[in-house]
Amino acid sequence: SPQQSNVTSYGAITVAIITLEVFPGMWINAFIVCVLCNAWVKKKTLNSSEKILLLLGCSRFWYLCFSWIHVFLSEIYPFCLLVHSILQILQGSYTFFNCSNLWISACLCGFYCIKIANFRNRFFIYLKVKIDRMVPWLLLGSVVFSLIFGIVVYNTIDKAVCRNLSFTCQARFWKPTIRIEKYFFPIYFLTGFLHTTSFMAVIFSAVFLLFSLWRHKHKMQTNSMNTLSMEAHIRAMKSVLSFFIMYSINFMFLILSLIYSFNYQNYAVFLGYLIQHAFPGVHSLILIFSNAKLEKKLLRLL
């Protein structure tokens, strides 16, 4: 029928666009992971920023991988999701790696703020001294917390599917016997709360770091200090500002996609998916060009 044809063409276009975003992003994050693993093998150790980048690259690679599989099956082979546990595993894994991605990004921004910013507050000085010891625990906490959230999502979807969907008749797959929003509303509320918390951490880190860099740049200008040093600070300010803007756009569309998630062909949801799939690759590319070692390796490879 014409309606089925329109849905099929819409699904094919969606998969094609998401593929063009996901595969470059996977390649970029795989490159970061390979370079850092190679350095780890050679040096037998990694510094704190490299540990964060390594885990961030891993989480983003698998986030994009599971997200693409979910989009591909949903749009091209939707009846594959009728097989028990496939939908639950995909959604649970997607949630785990997405949550890890957002929280580790927030950890990276907080780490840069504490390491680079210069304030005379005692608590801030204490954090600056202890931050390298705190990084492994922060990363472990982010992973464990994301894992717990992924398990909760898996169990919630499993209960909703088992109680509301009939697997004996394909025509009834999309016709729940009762409203499934009551199962997913707590998950959506918790997801929004977690993303808002990580976003607030990024906001505070970016604002403090930008204020510190701006103050330091102003001090260097008044004291007629070296131009190269001032250029480095301006470059750092641009990098932090670009990350802040990207994270803000990603957060805004993530919230919109949560609000309109039950209207599957809503343009806000579609645009949100595009932004969310572009963010891990684009931001990782910015991180590569902000790191001399990674930039040198990438240029040599290219």
What does the pLDDT read at residue 292?
A: 80
- pLDDT at residue 147 in the model: 92
DSSP class of residue 177? S
Cα separation of 232 and 254, whole Å?
A: 33
Q: How far is CA 243 from CA 73, 168, 194, 237, 294, in A?
A: 32, 48, 19, 10, 18
Distance CA 74, CA 91 (A): 12
**Residue 15: what are its φ and ψ, rounded to 5°?**
-65, -40
Architecture in CATH for domain 2-297: Up-down Bundle (1.20)
Task: Reply yes or no on whether the pLDDT at 5 is more than 60.
Answer: no
Q: How does residue 180 score in pLDDT terms, banded at 50, 70 and 90?
A: very low
Q: Is the pLDDT reported for residue 6 higher than 60?
A: no
Residue boundaries of the structural domains of the chain: 2-297
Q: pLDDT tens, 210-258?
A: 787 777 767 766 665 555 556 656 666 666 777 778 778 877 777 777 6
| pLDDT score of 35 | 92
pLDDT, tens digit (0-9, with 9 covering 90-100), for 101-154: 888 988 888 888 888 777 788 888 888 888 889 999 999 999 998 999 889 888
Instruction: Look up residue 299 and give its two tokens.
Output: 């240029």
Percent of the chain with pLDDT over 90: 17
* Residue 29: per-residue pLDDT: 94
Alpha-carbon span 182 to 290, nearest angstrom: 45
Going by pLDDT thresholds of 50, 70 and 90, the confidence category of residue 178 is: very low
What is the end-to-end Cα distance of the chain in Å, rounded? Answer: 48
Summarised one tens digit per residue, pLDDT across range 8-56 is 666 778 788 888 989 999 999 999 999 999 989 988 888 888 899 999 9
Tokens of 228: 């190269």
**HEC string of 44-94?**
CCCCHHHHHHHHHHHHHHHHHHHHHHHHHHHHCCHHHHHCCCHHHHHHHHH
Short-list 106, 187, 93, CA closest to 146: 93
**SS3 of 219, please?**
helix
